[in-house]
Amino acid sequence: MDTSRRLLLAGLAGLAVAPTAAGAAPLAAADGVTVAEERFARTIAAAHAPDVTCARQSERYADAHWPEYVVAARAVLDARV
């Protein structure tokens, strides 16, 4: 599966539990987040970047906003188990 399809699927999977702009408070960056959760949260954040056509911009968005997507990442990872 190519990278763009993975990002799209990760973004779609995270939509159900993605934070809303008004109500989500970001988590502290290192509060009990596993490596898998962080990586998947970054993937979901990159898929939700305003301009996903620019890899550098979506990577910067993911670096800045991944703590907001930890809940979505946990939900998806827990559903796979």
Please state the three-class secondary structure of 15-32 as a single string: HCCCCCCCCCCCCCCCCC
Q: How many domains is the chain partitioned into structurally?
A: 1
Mean pLDDT of the chain: 74
| Assigned token pair, 10 | 């990760």
pLDDT in tens, 52-77: 678 888 888 989 999 888 988 888 88
Domain that holds residue 42: 3-18+27-80
What's the confidence (pLDDT) of residue 22? 38
Q: pTM here?
A: 0.59
